[in-house]
Structure 1
Amino acid sequence: MKRRLLDRLLLPARVHTVEQRAPRLRHITLTGPALAGLAWQPGQHVRLQVSAAPGAVDWLIGTLRTYSVWDYDGENLELIVYDHGDSSGPGAEWARTARSGDELRLLKPEGDFTTAPADYHLFAGEETAQVAYGAMLRALPAGARVFGRLEVDSPDERLDLGQDRNQDWDLAWSYRRGRPADSALTLVDAVRALDLPADPGIAYLAGEARTIQLVRRHLVEDRHWPRRSVRTKPFWTPGKKGLD
């Protein structure tokens, strides 16, 4: 692999397995000695060096893309990457073409979009939020009270977030059936219809930036939640690059 200035901060790894989980979801497991014993909190992400970059930027860092961690067992790091379909960027190209044995480099897990103690937890988002949510939900203590509304295009794009093993969770999906995922008022309406306890819990809102803003506004302005009780993680929005 080409050497770059940032390589001393990056961990070498290789693709172990690639599995197509759904038409637009690829489960990619990374492995290698450098991945053993990492500090990771569910909800955090990693930044992968997926390709070269123009000119001097390539010499410095290459092209980095951010992916939520689905799971980590102390040795192998699992990603589930969503393919937006209309993207032709380096991250999309890497995710579509990754094969077992491919080498790459990545930064250690980072980020503060993680769970915190609360009387109950509210999750809302679309396809791109499911990976972080799966890890976060698995990390909650037994008996944690959970509400969740997720919107995906079709049922085959749902991930197993553990709802079948936790019958007390109020976790449900709705389906767009081809409608745009940005500024999704249907997801806002689904959260608005939730019969939540009178006192705020903690909300985790991830995915498309405009939809996150709308759900956050509902919680803060309509339900009078403190802003500090709403944690957000915008992953994408139409026409903009560089969101984590």
Structure 2
Amino acid sequence: MTGLAQRLADLAGSAMLDTALVSGLTQLPAGFVQVELTAAAFRKVTWVPGAKLQLRPRRGALGLRTYTPVSWDAGRGATRLVAYPHGDGPAAHWFRQAAAGDTCEVFGPRRSIDLRGPAGPVVFVGDESSVSPAANGPRASRRR
């Protein structure tokens, strides 16, 4: 992107995105990482299992990466994301470099899959992005 395009992306981002603080980071087995984000905006929204949160991993660009939080604490204004930072993409780089005290820009949560009351059993097929919906599904607590 040119300098002007980067500035326009940042201007648009500042109007649409909320700033979140990386309040915790845990390295998990098999190369996964868990990041806790806190933001005042998280206290004002309703999250349901299956809703998505989008992260802008790089300033100067409009590209957002989508994650399904594994937990949401509206009282604290905190959420946790699990990611598998593989390859050289902007999100993989962000998750490898993130540290407690850093800030990032997020959009959401927004509706995606509503797991509050499916009529029958739910089957999850996919990559690491299916971990959170499976863990937050209505029958997940019975299987643990």
- What one-letter code is carried by the residue in structure 2 that aligns with 1:131? S
C-alpha displacement at 1:110, in angstroms? 1.1
- Equivalent pairs counted in the alignment come to 132
Map 1:89-128 onto structure 2 (within 5 A).
89-115=89-115, 116-118=117-119, 120-128=120-128
TM-score (norm 2): 0.80
Map 1:1-244 onto structure 2 (within 5 A).
3-53=10-60, 58=61, 62-74=62-74, 75-83=77-85, 85=86, 87-115=87-115, 116-118=117-119, 120-128=120-128, 129-135=130-136, 137=137, 140=138, 162=141, 166=142, 169=143
Percent same amino acid among aligned pairs? 22
Separation in structure 2 between the aligned mates of residue 97 and residue 63 of structure 1, nearest angstrom: 18
C-alpha displacement at 1:127, in angstroms? 4.7
Separation in structure 1 between the aligned mates of residue 118 and residue 12 of structure 2, nearest angstrom: 40
**Consecutive aligned runs of 4 or more in structure 1 exceeding 6 Å deviation:** none
Separation in structure 2 between the aligned mates of residue 117 and residue 35 of structure 1, nearest angstrom: 25
Partners of 1:11 and 1:35 within 8 A in 2: no
- What one-letter code is carried by the residue in structure 2 that aligns with 1:81? A
Partners of 1:28 and 1:79 within 8 A in 2: yes
**Structure 2 stretches of 5 or more lacking a match?**
1-6
Separation in structure 2 between the aligned mates of residue 43 and residue 4 of structure 1, nearest angstrom: 30
C-alpha displacement at 1:32, in angstroms? 2.4
C-alpha RMSD of matched pairs (Å): 2.1
User: CA 1:32–1:122 in structure 2 vs 1: closer, same or farther (change >3 Å)?
Assistant: closer
TM-score (norm 1): 0.49
Separation in structure 2 between the aligned mates of residue 81 and residue 132 of structure 1, nearest angstrom: 13
**Structure 1 stretches of 5 or more lacking a match?**
145-160, 172-244
